[in-house]
Structure 1
Amino acid sequence: MTAARRFITVVDAVNRRVGRITMYGIFVMIGILLWSSVSKVFFLPALWTLESAQFAMVAYYILGGAYAIQLGSNVRMDLLYGAWSPRRRALVDAFTIFCLIFYLVVLLYGGIGSFIYSLQYGGERSPTAWRPYLWPIKGIMVTGLILMLLQALSEFTKDILRLRGEDI
């Protein structure tokens, strides 16, 4: 089981670092939206602010998703879950994690296809007045989905180890 523990350690460390850095993305969004408000009042409205804020928000929640899974800050129905033993929780989590993994694989499949499309055809651009390239945000989305998938597999491995009675 040393390979499983090494996998857990590496994935958790990477997602912790990415998540801790991503937390500061909120300040990027605040700056963009503040500039948007100031420019609309005092200057000509900037064309890039709305779309940049949307891209920053996508990067914020996609890259922070794996860290949220790691911290267990996802929504659970604690009505029953809270009263269960740690072994039963691990059993239910090991079963339900497959739904998450399936969902992430489907999203990743679509995300990779969309990312490749935006690179192949001369750099796909947004149809707005600003017309930014879309491949950077699509690349961030694919990266975030990979990190979430790896974290889901790490959580599944932790559940298996708990079911075997091992300490994590």
Structure 2
Amino acid sequence: MNADDAMKSGGSGAWRLIARYVRAVDAVSDYVGYLAASLIFLMGAVLIFDAITRNLIKMPVHWAVELTQFVLAAYYFMGGPFTLKNNEHVRMDLWYSTLSERGKAKVDLVTVWCLIFYLGVLLIGSISSLQYAIATNEKRFSIWNPSVIPIKALLTVCLVLMLMQAFALVFKHIATLRGETL
């Protein structure tokens, strides 16, 4: 029985709400992940622009490499929830692959709580760092001297989304243990 069947047959209100939450978080993670994937083109364009201005025109732009670094940071921040949703993260698969689906769900249910703790600590740190950046108008020390507030804000938002995705995984693993799918 999947979540849609449970909803059609009048499954519990809480379970329907959980199924909607999981679908909504998965959809947002997909959207943000595809948006992150498109940032590769922006990075390529900026680096090509930098190469042309530096080598052909002999007029280097000092912001190009630094902007590419910021875009790369945004790329991996935004790609985190998508990677987590699609189960494409790094895992020691030595004995995990030999487990049944229920066995994998049990192991994943334990490890996802470790992830949630880790993400919670990161979120607390990112909020503190963002508050400091806003209070001091923090800038990166370089010729370009850009503000770091936007990238720190993006990190904080992406950590919230990763936490939401981690809780969606908790619900998915519980559903697997119940013999259902979300």
TM-score range, shorter chain: over 0.9
Identify which of 2, 7, 10 aligns with 2:24.
Answer: 10
Query: Secondary structure of the equivalent of 1:82?
Result: helix
Identify which of 157, 176, 180 aligns with 1:143.
Answer: 157
Distance 1:79 1:104 in 2: 25
The residue aligned with 2:55 is 41
Runs of 4 or more, structure 1, over 2 Å off, are: none
Identify which of 139, 143, 149 aligns with 1:125.
Answer: 139
Query: Shift of residue 77 of structure 1?
Result: 2.0
CA RMSD in angstroms comes to 1.1
Query: Secondary structure of the equivalent of 1:125?
Result: coil
Which is further off, 62-71 or 72-81? 72-81
Query: Shift of residue 82 of structure 1?
Result: 1.3
Q: Which runs of 5+ in 1 are unaligned?
A: none
Query: Shift of residue 7 of structure 1?
Result: 1.2
Distance 1:29 1:137 in 2: 15
What is the total number of aligned residue pairs between the two structures?
167
Amino acid at match of 1:136: P
Q: Deviations over 1:40-72 (max 9, x none)?
A: 212221110121011000000101110011111
Distance 2:97 2:143 in 1: 51
Q: Which runs of 5+ in 2 are unaligned?
A: 1-14
Distance 1:111 1:79 in 2: 34
The residue aligned with 2:101 is 86
Identity fraction in percent: 38
Identify which of 154, 164, 167 aligns with 2:168.
Answer: 154
Amino acid at match of 2:44: I
Preserved contact between residue 74 and residue 151 of structure 2 (Cα < 8 Å): yes
Larger Rg: 2
Preserved contact between residue 115 and residue 139 of structure 1 (Cα < 8 Å): yes
Amino acid at match of 2:65: L
Q: Deviations over 1:71-90 (max 9, x none)?
A: 11111222211111000000
Preserved contact between residue 63 and residue 143 of structure 1 (Cα < 8 Å): no
